[in-house]
Amino acid sequence: MKIVAATVLLGLHLQSVQAETLFVTCDNGIRCFRAPCPARDVLLLPSNRRLPGTEASLEQLTVAERKRVADVSGSYYGTIVFAGEIDESRKPPVIATRIVRNATKVEAALCRKRS
Between strands 40-45 and 20-27, the pairing is: antiparallel
Asked, for residue 6, whether it belongs to a domain, the answer is no
pLDDT digits (tens, 9 = 90+) for 11-41: 544 444 446 899 999 998 888 898 888 889 9
Quick one: what percent of the chain has pLDDT higher than 70? 82
Asked, for residue 70, whether it belongs to a domain, the answer is yes
Asked, for residue 36, whether it belongs to a domain, the answer is yes
End-to-end Cα separation, the chain, in angstroms: 51
Q: What is the pLDDT of residue 56?
A: 92
The C-alpha R_g of the chain, in whole angstroms, comes to 16
pLDDT digits (tens, 9 = 90+) for 79-89: 999 999 999 88
The structural domain count of the chain equals 1
Asked, for residue 61, whether it belongs to a domain, the answer is yes
pLDDT above 50 (res 63): yes
Q: At 48, phi and psi to the nearest 5?
A: 65, 20
Q: If you count them, how many residues does the chain have?
A: 115
* Domain around 49: 20-112
DSSP string of 86-112? E-TTSSSSEEEEEEEEEPPHHHHHHHH
Question: In whole angstroms, what is the distance from residue 5 CA to residue 47 CA?
Answer: 34
Asked, for residue 34, whether it belongs to a domain, the answer is yes
Asked, for residue 7, whether it belongs to a domain, the answer is no
What is the reported pTM?
0.78
Asked, for residue 26, whether it belongs to a domain, the answer is yes
